[in-house]
Structure 1
Amino acid sequence: MNKTKQLTLFGLIGITMAFFGTVRSVPTLAITGWTQIFYMLIAAVIFALPIALMSAELSTGFPEEGGPQVWVKNGLGEKWGFVTSWLLWVQMFFGMVMVASTVGVLFGYVINKSGLSSNNYFIFIVILISYWSVTLLNLKFDMVKIAGNWGAVIGVYIPFVFLVLLGIIYMIKNGIQPNSYLGNFKPRDIIPNFRDLGSLTYLSGIIFIFAGVEISSVHANNIENPKRNYPIAVIASVILLAIFNIIAGLTVSNAVPRGKLELANITQPYLIFCKNLGIPLIFVNLISLMILIGVLVQLSAWVLGPSKSMIKVAEEGNLPKFFQKRTNRGIPITFVMIQAIVISLVSILYVVVPDVNSAFLIITITTTILYCVVYIFIAISAIRLRYIMPEIKRPFRLGNKGNGLMWIVSILSIICIIFTIIVSIIPPSILKPSQYTGYIIYQIVATLLMIGIALVIYRYKRPEWKKDYKQP
């Protein structure tokens, strides 16, 4: 490989942190108060690190395009490879509804109508308008190329830095607020209250911060000395992300009065900080606009990304010819339109569930569960590939000799993933008791339905679905 194309250690740390650095997840952290320190350590050390390290070995051993779908296909067979690619596509239906819901909240602050941030019908309408607008723009223009890097700088990096700085200044000036989520600290507050099982569900929302951690592994082949530098880069990135998120989360926990935090409203802490520190409120409007731009750029990237992966899976013969249609620009039109329609249907949750906070958390948890199923497939494949394809050259390998370290990392990962799925099915304390049964049924049915559809499609696939199929 050409040395000039290789990433440095610091380059990979920067790329990995850029992928996960977002202000949107801070309220989910903040609502747990002091317990967020414990939750973040679990999410970073037991969830993110093992998956990132296994993914590094798999991506250097199987460098072809496709990532998780390729690893699982080689490890567990074509059927489960298809299920993996399908789940990574359909989780986007829920994830993008959650991301798009923040557009309505932010837009309300941009136009000085903050009351709209808790109006379910307004949030629902804005999800529809924003997602369909971004979809139609992507059919006409290359929006990622137009808005890519500067969108991330304006919409992610600058707002996150300001959130941390303002939060630290606020805490230095005011100390710990007694009526906040951090008030009246007792050492036991750091450990979750296991008698209130509903509070454990927030762990699922915090783990969602690291969902997609396997994506950074695509750079494992491009880094100088991957055996030494990749684990250093991953560990450093995860530790730094955990530290920055905890600082942001704790400062927001300290600013918002207990019971008043709005999960879908990242503008809320900026407003409190600015009022207290005497900063003109137009700054809040500007920050809201910047985050809004970042969210729209992120939505834009997701419109085409998973669809381009899925059309390759379709052309291999896993989906009917109808799914293989492309526009003149090569855009997988069927996938793009299906996801827009399904995202519109999922967003009805914001009308059905009367509380915006509850709808936001429910959808975040559904996305996390679907990701977790994929991670179980990856962990099992990582072990199995050691035995069925031991001859594959792995530039990054867990352990110098034998398979012991891979077993330890995989089993640790599977235990954490199963625990995450279990706590995700427990109704969150934010819901009313009358909603508990509906919540459990929804999460189980949504997960089984998404897996079941993939298995049914695979069961009844036809040889003539292959792109280059020739009639015998």
Structure 2
Amino acid sequence: MFAFILFAIVCFARPVALMTMELSTTLQGRGGPQLWVKTAFGHKWGFTSSWLLWVQMFPSMVMIASTLCPLFGVMIGQDQLGDNHWFTLAFIIVFYWLITLLNLKFDMAKIGGAIGIWLGVYLPMGLMFILGLAAFLKRGLDPHSMLGAFSLHGTISSLTDTKSLQYVSAVAFIFTGISTTGVYAPRLKKVTHDFPLGLLLALTVVVLLNLVNAFLIANVIPAGSDQLDNIAEPVIRYCQVLGWPSWLAQVFSLLAFLGVALQLSTWVTGPSQMMAEVAKDGLLPAKWHFYRHDAIGVAQNVVITQAVLASLFALLYALPNINSVFLMLVNTAVFIYCTVYGIIGLAFIRVRYLLPNQERPFRVGKTGNGGAWAVTGLLMVGILMIALTTLISTDRLSAVFMLLITLLLFATPLIIEHFKRPAWLTDAQADLQNGGN
């Protein structure tokens, strides 16, 4: 755990954070990663980066939605439902279409914003931490848990064990999405001071929370009995260790369920706005009508397309091994993210040479471009290691699936760009002028 998180920080999170801070404060227009890549390599690759940041949400949201199934089972006192892959499949599809329809009728982003953060993150996280700490103080280190007894030789050998290596990308997933924070930089009054400080503080909190909680959880889950999508399992174990009532786990599950559901609901419309803007620029076929918004600002065609594609990814849960499907979805999302970050890394270097005299309020390296090359090199090493360790530790069928999906989703915007027509832009503008919202 410590080795993988250290690797993820040094070769993944830190380079991406430094690039994000420099690019966000140097290119302060709207658009974030799309603006950076477009400045470096033109509209084609700017569109590709936006597309990849959009499509990664399909495996990501299905994976996150799968955590709702065990929570729902614990809430109603039917814990075994979380182990049923058919129930998981049906639940994800029904739930995703439900929140899609709700977003077409109501402003769910406004309803679920702050409420979702408090219910889904702060309260359950606080409850989990308090229970975990109390259980640790009562029991101490449990040699029969996933954490096990400490052994220097065992720790070192586990770093090359395929069972351990399969979690490298899952650890990296903790830090994905860092680059998208760049879209908020223009909103800050003191962007050159507040944005770097806020981003570094957020990374520090994320690392500490994950390290502490992972340690406490690993010390209470019996070896070999983990269920990756069941975030209520540690709380159930904590209550058993402490001899506290099981309804605490049900309260936790209810809070987490409502919070995650509300957050997922807001994510339905968030990324869709990016595709709507891309469509307005004539980068997508006008007949798709991705640029149209309804009365509450929802791009209906984009949202419905998302629901269809997410449902297709959910079909993976027809496979009986829930843990394997969960990891497959995580790894696929990380592969797509790594593709985007590879493009951003190249754009970072390119912008340095295209705009050598541009004012850089936050700069990687005081002089020259050596620091920029070093940071980019670390990121490329990190991406390569994540890809290799994932492929080595994954069964052949899952590896082929992840590679094919990543290549397909990467090739799609390039194919669309190849067949782009000037009429896409003129038709979209004419439709919008004639009342197409």
TM range (shorter): over 0.9
5 Å-filtered alignment, 1:112-131, equals: 112-131=77-96
1:404 to partner: Cα distance: 1.6
Among residues 350, 362, 366, which one is paired with 1:396 in the alignment? 362
Among residues 403, 416, 422, which one is paired with 1:463 in the alignment? 422
1:282 to partner: Cα distance: 1.0
The answer on 1:61 being equivalent to 2:20 is no
- Aligned 8 A contact 2:107 2:296 in 1: no
Match of 2:50 in 1: 85
Distance 1:295 1:334, change over 3 A: same
- Aligned 8 A contact 2:15 2:379 in 1: yes
Among residues 111, 118, 132, which one is paired with 1:153 in the alignment? 118
- Aligned 8 A contact 1:103 1:292 in 2: yes
- Aligned 8 A contact 2:28 2:185 in 1: no
The answer on 1:241 being equivalent to 2:206 is yes
- Aligned 8 A contact 2:145 2:221 in 1: yes
Residue-by-residue CA offset, 1:39-58 (whole Å, 9 max, x unaligned): 11112232111101111111
Among residues 319, 330, 349, which one is paired with 1:364 in the alignment? 330
The answer on 1:289 being equivalent to 2:254 is yes
Residue-by-residue CA offset, 1:391-444 (whole Å, 9 max, x unaligned): 33322222232222111111111111121122222343xxxxxxx221121011
- Aligned 8 A contact 1:124 1:350 in 2: yes
- Aligned 8 A contact 2:220 2:237 in 1: yes
Among residues 325, 328, 332, which one is paired with 2:299 in the alignment? 332
Alignment-mate amino acid for residue 100 of structure 2: T
Match of 2:377 in 1: 411
- Aligned 8 A contact 1:44 1:239 in 2: no
Match of 1:16 in 2: none
Separation of aligned partners in 2, 1:377 and 1:307: 21
Residue-by-residue CA offset, 1:202-225 (whole Å, 9 max, x unaligned): 010111011101233345456676
Separation of aligned partners in 2, 1:164 and 1:274: 12
- Aligned 8 A contact 2:37 2:343 in 1: yes
- Aligned 8 A contact 1:88 1:374 in 2: yes
Residue-by-residue CA offset, 1:330-376 (whole Å, 9 max, x unaligned): 3211111111011111101001x211111111101100110010001
Match of 2:100 in 1: 135
Separation of aligned partners in 1, 2:414 and 2:218: 43
Match of 1:10 in 2: none
The answer on 1:379 being equivalent to 2:379 is no
Alignment-mate amino acid for residue 40 of structure 2: G
The answer on 1:104 being equivalent to 2:69 is yes
Match of 1:50 in 2: 15
SS across alignment from 2:67: helix
Deviates more, 1:183-192 or 1:227-236: 227-236
- Aligned 8 A contact 1:427 1:439 in 2: no
Residue-by-residue CA offset, 1:178-225 (whole Å, 9 max, x unaligned): 211122210234446354234212010111011101233345456676
- Aligned 8 A contact 1:326 1:333 in 2: yes
- Aligned 8 A contact 2:165 2:393 in 1: no
1:177 to partner: Cα distance: 1.0
Counting matched residue pairs gives 427
Alignment-mate amino acid for residue 164 of structure 1: F
Distance 1:45 1:157, change over 3 A: farther
Match of 1:309 in 2: 274
- Aligned 8 A contact 1:425 1:444 in 2: no
Separation of aligned partners in 2, 1:146 and 1:234: 26
Separation of aligned partners in 2, 1:218 and 1:441: 33
1:230 to partner: Cα distance: 4.5
Match of 1:454 in 2: 413
Separation of aligned partners in 1, 2:167 and 2:407: 22
Match of 1:174 in 2: 139
Distance 1:298 1:87, change over 3 A: same
1:457 to partner: Cα distance: 0.7
- Aligned 8 A contact 2:115 2:259 in 1: no
Residue-by-residue CA offset, 1:214-239 (whole Å, 9 max, x unaligned): 23334545667655665444334323
What stretches of structure 1 move > 6 A for 4+ residues in a row?
A: none
Q: Can you give the 5+ residue segments of structure 2 that lack an aligned partner in the other structure?
A: 432-437
Deviates more, 1:406-415 or 1:105-114: 406-415
- Aligned 8 A contact 1:37 1:190 in 2: no
Distance 1:279 1:198, change over 3 A: closer
Separation of aligned partners in 1, 2:412 and 2:382: 26
Match of 1:6 in 2: none
Separation of aligned partners in 1, 2:324 and 2:117: 28
**Pairwise CA RMSD:** 1.8
SS across alignment from 1:396: coil
Residue-by-residue CA offset, 1:88-138 (whole Å, 9 max, x unaligned): 111111001001111111101110000000101111111011111111111
Deviates more, 1:77-86 or 1:184-193: 184-193
Distance 1:227 1:334, change over 3 A: closer
Distance 1:45 1:233, change over 3 A: farther
The answer on 1:445 being equivalent to 2:404 is yes
Separation of aligned partners in 2, 1:453 and 1:390: 33
Distance 1:144 1:330, change over 3 A: closer
- Share of identical aligned residues, percent? 39
Distance 1:222 1:337, change over 3 A: closer
